[in-house]
Chains A and B, each alone.
Chain A
Amino acid sequence: MALLEVKNLEVSFGLRSGEVKALRNISFNLDRGERLGLVGESGAGKSVLGFSILNLISRPGRISAGEIWFDGQNLANLSAEGIRAIRGNRISMIFQDPMMTLNPVLTIGQQMVECLQAHRKISFDAAKTIAVQKLKQVYIPSPETRFDQYPHELSGGMRQRIVIAIALLLDPDIIIADEPTTALDVTIQAEIMELMVELCERNNVALILITHDLGVVSQATQKTIVMYAGRIIEQGPTKEIINDAQHPYTQGLMNALPQMAIPGQRLNQIRGAMPPLQRIPTGCAFNPRCDYAEEACKRELPTFTRSGNCQVACHMVAAMRKAEQTQEGV
């Protein structure tokens, strides 16, 4: 059985203008120790998905349908105390901007010890020993000194290491990292990414890595989910998706990668922009921006088609697979 099983998850925001659905029909599995990349343009719903796994969507948002199975419990309708005991303990999070993630008025030590004490009956000294050991794991120099310092005394890269150390404190099963390197200096982005992969691998921690960057996904993950306007449009093994993306949207994201560009030419951005939640087109949400869109794409929501080891929600891909099958049948 999978470590985490998300089934038909739906998240809604009750806005003044009416209810909008930020996530629809999200289903995927995550195995122990597996690393999953979550990609898509800004506003696709990646962060909402990350937060909703720990039921951290606050008003006016809520999980309006679906199940999140973890360790025999449905996190979507667990009691407040039940979900609290999971957060930071079995499933922990890493946020985007380490400048904002740590509380400015509490020391690093306080912010680590409190996390241990929230989940275990443990003395301050015992907690400190664990905290210092985790700081060493993320290669913080002179961890005992850092332990007593305030966040503002540390650099951005250092702070993100500390956030990673906090995420590892209770030896979680899953870490959800929401763009953990985006806010960092480019020179240390790769370093932090490598550190995360190394630590997850060594401790057999599953990782959900939210990012814009398909390049990072291809290096760090085994599985990829591509999201568009609140839905999954393609998911499967990272290798297959990177080498042979099926969905025109995923292809577009690939073509927009700087590595793919011919030097001196503009990047191949997908034309247009993702629609706001209030104005998602009928049919396939991507159809107004798609070069291959046909009549069916404007009318009908595509269902998932199997393509290799991937699931793709695209009418064109469905038609192609069908044609292949009938050919084989002949």
Chain B
Amino acid sequence: MIAFFIKRLFQAIIVMFVISLISFSIQDNLGDPLREMVGQSVSEAERQALRDEMGLNDPFLIQYGRFLGNVLQGDLGTSYFFKEPALEVILKKMPATLELVFGATIIIVLFSVPLGVYSAIKPFSWFSRVVMGVSIVGISVPVFLTAIGLIYLFAIELGWMPSYGRGDTVDMFWGWDSGLFTLDGLHHLILPSFTLASIMLPLFIRLIRSEMMEVLQSEYVKFAWAKGLHSRRIYFLHALKNTMLPVITVGGVQIGTMVAYTILTETVFQWPGMGFLFLEAVNRVDTPLIVAYLIVVGAVFVVTNTIVDLIYGLVNPTVKLAGK
């Protein structure tokens, strides 16, 4: 267990190090912070003095070291636009994004497992063929098209769903709020969640189907049939458990990447999350905010991967976390 954590920690440090390096280069190259801070009237000499004072003329490594030191203390700079610490601005928006990812994950699990399993068990049935056909199309439809289609149908034509925003939220701890505990909030969550889920859903259905089909050909499944077990037990215990092992690994990584995919979804639905904020920050060249976003998303990615590895270790007896 300890070895596992040390290994994970080491990986996490490397990933975060790379992200910080990238973030820093962006900060270094994206626009001139002085232009944002001072007016046109300031002379070139005064600018140079300011640069020296801020350390902007120091060698790259020294600047980076200073940046890293600040990051480690949780100081990602001050947002030019909000005039608040960038990290706080981002973190305040995190619940909205996480809820969106959460909603999409639930939808993906709810749909991909039964559909993938069914189409593996009955590959020749018409329903499986339809599922496979739709999923092929689904992979190639861009997100914003899905979003617009859903909004048009369910918000405008049918009027069942709100088309933008997060709805009512309740206050939680650390200044966070949540829409999961109000009917209105949940109502608002549905369309964005389906949109975000639509990116991964076809992929997951196909992944589960192909894994399951492979497992069904295995010797231990044949042996399970030869033992006279009921088909239910063979499909949903013997085969499914082995199918889900690789799917959990791939799935975990994909959920991590989904945080990044929220940018498009949040923008279309004007969902007040990190992605929406990030796009605004890019438009305003609000560098500290951009950097803060990258680092936070990187951290989320590392954390989800670690959790996924832990779960994998718990489900798969051949991986020994505890070294018992």
Chain A residues at the B interface, C-beta cutoff of 8 Å = 54, 56, 84-89, 92-93, 95, 97, 100-107, 114-115, 118-119, 150, 152, 163, 166
CA distance A54 to B224 in the complex (A): 13
Contact B316 A118 (CB under 8 A): no
**What is the distance, in angstroms, from B221's C-beta to the closest C-beta of chain A?**
8
**What is the distance, in angstroms, from A282's C-beta to the closest C-beta of chain B?**
34
* Given A100-B218, A101-B219, A101-B220; A93-B315 close (CB under 8 Å): no
Main secondary structure of the interface of B (DSSP, over half): helix
8 nearest CB pairs, A to B: A87-B228, A88-B228, A88-B227, A100-B219, A93-B226, A150-B317, A103-B220, A115-B227
Contact B227 A102 (CB under 8 A): no
- Residue in B218, B226, B238, B241 whose CB lies within 8 Å of A54: B226
CA distance A263 to B224 in the complex (A): 44
Contact B242 A88 (CB under 8 A): no
**What is the distance, in angstroms, from B264's C-beta to the closest C-beta of chain A?**
37
CA distance A54 to B240 in the complex (A): 24
Contact A89 B220 (CB under 8 A): no
**What is the distance, in angstroms, from B311's C-beta to the closest C-beta of chain A?**
14
- Chain A residues with Cβ under 8 A from B237's Cβ? 106
Q: Which residue of A lies closest to B245 (CB)?
A: A105
- Residue in A86, A100, A102 whose CB lies within 8 Å of B228: A86
Q: Which residue of A lies closest to B229 (CB)?
A: A118
CA distance A255 to B218 in the complex (A): 36
| Of A85, A102, A105, most B-chain CB atoms within 10 Å | A105
B7 on the interface (CB 8 Å rule)? no
* Given A100-B219, A105-B317; A85-B242 close (CB under 8 Å): no
Contact A114 B233 (CB under 8 A): yes
CA distance A95 to B225 in the complex (A): 12
Q: Interface size for chain B: under 10, 10 to 19, 20 to 34, or 35 or more residues? A: 20 to 34
**What is the distance, in angstroms, from A319's C-beta to the closest C-beta of chain B?**
43
| Of A103, A107, A150, most B-chain CB atoms within 10 Å | A103
CA distance A279 to B229 in the complex (A): 38
Q: Which residue of A lies closest to B218 (CB)?
A: A100
Contact A88 B238 (CB under 8 A): no
Q: Which residue of B lies closest to A87 (CB)?
A: B228
- Chain A residues with Cβ under 8 A from B318's Cβ? 104-105, 150, 152
* Given A105-B315, A150-B317, A150-B318; A88-B229 close (CB under 8 Å): yes
Interface string of B212-234 (1 = CB under 8 A from A): 00000011101111111110010
Beyond A104-B318, A105-B316, A166-B227, 9 extra complex contacts between A and B, CB < 8 Å: A54-B226, A88-B226, A95-B219, A100-B218, A100-B219, A103-B241, A105-B317, A115-B229, A118-B230
Q: Which residue of B lies closest to A86 (CB)?
A: B228
11 residue pairs from A and B, CB less than 8 Å apart: A56-B222, A56-B226, A84-B228, A86-B228, A95-B222, A102-B220, A104-B220, A105-B241, A115-B228, A118-B228, A152-B317
Contact A114 B229 (CB under 8 A): yes
- Residue in B227, B229, B316 whose CB lies within 8 Å of A92: B227
CA distance A89 to B228 in the complex (A): 7
- Chain B residues with Cβ under 8 A from A103's Cβ? 220, 223-224, 238, 241-242
- Chain A residues with Cβ under 8 A from B219's Cβ? 95, 97, 100-101
Q: Which residue of A lies closest to B233 (CB)?
A: A114
**What is the distance, in angstroms, from B237's C-beta to the closest C-beta of chain A?**
8
- Chain A residues with Cβ under 8 A from B245's Cβ? 105
- Chain B residues with Cβ under 8 A from A97's Cβ? 219
- Chain B residues with Cβ under 8 A from A84's Cβ? 228-230
Contact A95 B242 (CB under 8 A): no
CA distance A124 to B318 in the complex (A): 25
Contact B242 A104 (CB under 8 A): yes
- Chain A residues with Cβ under 8 A from B242's Cβ? 103-105
**What is the distance, in angstroms, from A161's C-beta to the closest C-beta of chain B?**
15
